[in-house]
Amino acid sequence: MAHIVVNAVSLKPGGGIQVISDLLARFSHHHHYTVLWNETHSKENIEAIVGQRKNVTFFRALNTASNMKTFLWSLIKLRGLLIELEADLLMSVNHHFPSGSVPQIVYDLNVLRFRRPKKALNSVAELADRLRDWRAKIAL
């Protein structure tokens, strides 16, 4: 039996939450899954699809929805949490996390983003987009 940690931290309602929920609903009952979350609506949306499965638990990893704090958490704290949870695998949507402690599967919804023209780096949004694209390329 493997322990698979599913990262739903910072996922907003929409594609990512739907992917996580659908995968969890269909995943094997022979493994244990821990869903990391930070936003109540994300947890509720996943629970609504997954239901009350004994092999799925939820762990609130952060108390904030800030993208910058989430990114810093993933760089600083995620590795230790995966070790503490005794995870065998980390599964994420869109983002590769340089945790280094367990293998990762990244379900990437942003592949076509790489075709978009780059904008000037005069906005925080563009900087965040480039960071997101760079991390997605690493994951691929």
Q: What CATH number should be reported for the domain whose range is 3-109? A: 3.40.50
Please provide the distance, in angstroms rounded to a whole number, between the alpha carbons at the two ends of the chain. Answer: 27
pLDDT of residue 38: 87
- Residues 5-51: tens digit of each pLDDT: 998 887 666 677 778 888 888 888 889 999 998 888 888 888 888 87
Q: Does the pLDDT of residue 80 top 90, yes or no? A: yes
Rounded Cα gap, residues 83 and 25, in angstroms: 25
Instruction: State the pLDDT at residue 6.
Output: 92
Residue for token pair 């704090």: 69
- Delimit the domains of the chain by residue range: 3-109
The DSSP output letter for 32 is: E
Q: What is the pLDDT of residues 93-136, one digit of tens each?
A: 877 777 677 998 888 776 666 666 777 777 777 777 777 777 66
Angle at 40 between CA 71 and CA 69, to 5 degrees: 15
SS3 36: strand
CA torsion through residues 89, 93, 39, 77, sign: positive
**Which pair of tokens denotes residue 89?**
């695998």
Distance CA 43, CA 24 (A): 12
Asked if residue 86 has pLDDT above 90, the reply is yes
Percent of the chain residues topping a pLDDT of 90: 19
| pLDDT score recorded for residue 114 | 65
